[in-house]
Structure 1
Amino acid sequence: MSPLRLLVFLGSTRDGRLGENVAKSVVNSLKQRNHDVELIDPLTLGSNGHVSQPLHFYKDQSQAPEWMIKTNAKIQAANGLIIVTPEYNCMLPPGLTSMMDQFPPASYRYKPCGIVCYSMGPFGGLRAAAVSPLPE
């Protein structure tokens, strides 16, 4: 099987987040299988995980910030997506949904997507997985 180009979206922006360890484990596991994997971390994007103007709302997308254009190109080029998300108050974290909402739904279409959930609670992130809206 030829290597896949995969993006791993890290869902947490909180101080002391555990998601970095979970995401690194996912990335390392995929790289051991010779896949091309890149971590998308909302704290390293220009938005700090908060939508101000989604890419698809720009009249001229070439006027959007460079980080947004580059990240969107990575999403479009990916063979698949993996979302690493904590469970915050029985829901998805706002940093994850805000980050992913910055890019057009068409960029996500027809891409297989996996969800890796974690939680300090007794359900291990199950409730976050149950409400996770996959990109269109």
Structure 2
Amino acid sequence: MSQYQIAVIVGSLRQDSFNKKLANGIAKLVPSEFSLKQVQISDLPLYDQDDDANQADSVKRLKSEISAAQGLLFVTPEYNRSMPGVLKNAIDHASRPYGQSVWAGKPAGVIGASIGSIGTALAQQHLRNVLAYLDVATMGQPEAFIHVRDGLFDAQGNIGPSSVPFIQNWVDHYVAWIKKHVQ
């Protein structure tokens, strides 16, 4: 495949989000045949099964962008020892109505950053459990539970020089994972 379209789902809405910075930094570390696009989840209504027959335009857009992608990248913070509600809401919307999930069969990577000392370990585990049910082939190793500290990002919001080798290693494994699963 000459070009890999990757849908990036950032589980944070905050303007100065560490995870948005991480997603933007990862986009600069992938090879040129990878195109990473962050999908918007901030305008999704709360999931309600009563709306399955008449989904909002924002839900249709989300499902279309996920369907068009060859791979997925989830970049999530950890809220109260789990994934953020906005991320779970997006996952639920794109998996419904039952039998019409756009997640199934897509390869994915999961990464995240948090100020907590365990990074996003529990959020990632909960997210992996949900993705397994949705038939998303999620990269298991290496894991990256990034603890946000001084130097993780530089003054321009890029991944800092001391952090690049660790994150580049994860990105290289992710790229290989996507290539292995996309024919």
Normalised by the shorter chain, which TM-score bucket?
0.7 to 0.9
The question of 1:119 aligning with 2:118 is answered no
Aligned residue number for residue 95 of structure 1: 86
Identity between Structure 1 and Structure 2 (%): 23
Cα distance in 2 between the residues matched to 1:101 and 1:57: 12
Structure 2 residue identity aligned to 1:76: S
Aligned residue number for residue 35 of structure 2: 36
Higher Rg of the two aligned structures: 2
Cα distance in 1 between the residues matched to 2:69 and 2:34: 11
Cα distance in 2 between the residues matched to 1:97 and 1:12: 11
Q: What TM-score comes out, normalization by structure 2 length?
A: 0.61
Offset of 1:68 from its aligned partner?
Answer: 2.0
Report which structure shows greater RCO (CA 8 Å, sep ≥6): 1
Aligned mate of 2:52, from 44, 49, 58? 58
Cα distance in 2 between the residues matched to 1:127 and 1:65: 31
The question of 1:70 aligning with 2:65 is answered no
Aligned mate of 1:107, from 85, 102, 105? 102
The answer to whether the 8 A contact 1:8-1:27 is kept is: no
Aligned residue number for residue 13 of structure 2: 13
The answer to whether the 8 A contact 2:47-2:92 is kept is: no
* 1:117-136 Cα shifts (integer Å, max 9, x gaps): 21101112112112212161
Structure 2 residue identity aligned to 1:109: A
* 1:64-84 Cα shifts (integer Å, max 9, x gaps): 332322221111121110100
SS of the residue corresponding to residue 101 of structure 1 reads helix
SS of the residue corresponding to residue 29 of structure 1 reads coil
Q: What TM-score comes out, normalization by structure 1 length?
A: 0.79
Aligned residue number for residue 4 of structure 1: 4
SS of the residue corresponding to residue 69 of structure 1 reads helix
The question of 1:25 aligning with 2:22 is answered no
Structure 1 residue identity aligned to 2:102: S
Cα distance in 2 between the residues matched to 1:128 and 1:52: 20
State how many pairs are aligned: 127
* 1:80-124 Cα shifts (integer Å, max 9, x gaps): 101000111211111111122111252100000110121101112
Cα distance in 1 between the residues matched to 2:29 and 2:102: 25
CA RMSD of the aligned region, Å?
Answer: 2.2
Cα distance in 2 between the residues matched to 1:2 and 1:99: 29
